[in-house]
């Protein structure tokens, strides 16, 4: 069975005071039947990893090179050196606002693995693509071109139109996409493909988490807004643990 994972993506939110939320989240995570990951802004990765050892810490992005003259960038090795165990790559905000392509995402995932980080590879369709009946085609196309050669990664299906909007696809549509992702991964990686965790992301809240986690090939969630406070995130962690 794939590991059950609930990951919080804090995006460009969080100052040192936010570590109090992280500590509260880590206390709640202690006896749960799932892995909890928080991806704070890079400025907090080191401190977050120092504050506790129950949950794991992740980066939100990394460069595709190990080292060099890339002002402002952060390498996968630097994140690992700061205590991160995971890194999100190919988030739709990176793809749309910074022009990241599937081949760049694949290089980032590959260097993350080489740096002992588990990449969380994101794919998802736009609303126009969903309306045109192309959602499955788009996510399979993007995942095929974004995954590295080794199966040690996590996939997050995040429909772009569901991010931060309060909208989610129907349970039928989530199931359909996740089943298609699982088939692609088992075709590509055989038995190892059955063990890759598939997360759903986009407006996950305590009110919808239980029905989303009931889908057979949903192994957890990548959560944005509702991961910023322990009050909102802990019930989602409980839903996954109990699923
Ligand atoms: P929201 O949970 O705020 O919709 O964000 C989802 C997301 O983009 C996580 O990476």
Whether 143 contacts 155, CB under 8 Å: yes
For the residues 166-192, what does the mean pLDDT come to?
A: 97
pLDDT of residue 53: 87
Torsion of CA 98, 101, 107, 112, to 10 degrees: 50
Please tell me the distance from the alpha carbon of residue 120 to that of residue 104, in angstroms, as a whole number: 14
Q: Which listed residue (21, 63, 91, 238) is catalytic?
A: 91
pLDDT in tens, 213-241: 999 999 999 999 999 999 999 999 999 99
Q: Give percent above pLDDT 70 in the chain.
A: 100
Is 91 labeled as catalytic in the residue annotation? yes
pLDDT value at 52 more than 90: no
Tokens 């260097």 belong to 111
Q: Which pair of tokens denotes residue 201?
A: 């992301």
Q: For residue 177, what pLDDT band results from cuts at 50, 70 and 90?
A: very high
Which of 61, 161, 200, 225 for a ligand 1 pocket mutation test, highest count of atoms within 8 Å of Cβ?
225
Beta-bridged to residue 59, according to DSSP, are 87
What does pTM read for this prediction?
A: 0.97
Q: What angle do CA 51, 52, 54 make, to 5 degrees?
A: 160
pLDDT in tens, 38-50: 999 999 999 999 9
pLDDT of residue 165: 97
Q: Which pair of tokens denotes residue 29?
A: 């995570």
């Amino acid at each position: 069975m794939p590991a059950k994972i609930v990951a919080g993506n804090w995006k460009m939110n969080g100052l040192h005071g936010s570590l109090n939320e992280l500590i509260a989240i880590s206390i709640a995570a202690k006896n749960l039947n799932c892995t909890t990951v928080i991806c704070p802004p890079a400025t907090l990765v080191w401190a977050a990893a120092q504050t506790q050892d129950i949950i794991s810490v992740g980066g939100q992005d990394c460069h595709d090179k190990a080292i060099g003259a890339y002002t402002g960038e952060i390498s996968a090795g630097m994140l690992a050196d700061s205590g991160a165990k995971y890194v999100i790559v190919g988030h739709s905000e990176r793809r749309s606002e910074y022009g990241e392509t599937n081949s760049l995402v694949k290089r980032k995932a590959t260097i993350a693995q080489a740096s002992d980080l588990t990449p969380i590879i994101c794919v998802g369709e736009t609303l126009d693509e969903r309306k045109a009946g192309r959602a499955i085609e788009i996510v399979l196309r993007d995942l095929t071109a974004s995954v590295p050669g080794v199966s040690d990664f996590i996939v997050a299906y995040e429909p772009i139109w569901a991010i931060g909007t309060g909208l989610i696809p129907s349970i039928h549509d989530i199931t359909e996409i996740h089943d298609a992702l699982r088939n692609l991964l088992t075709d590509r990686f055989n038995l190892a493909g059955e063990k890759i965790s598939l997360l759903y992301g986009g407006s996950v809240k305590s009110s919808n988490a239980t029905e989303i986690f009931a889908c057979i090939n949903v192994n957890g969630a990548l959560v944005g807004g509702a991961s910023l406070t322990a009050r909102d995130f802990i019930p989602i962690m409980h839903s996954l643990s109990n699923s």
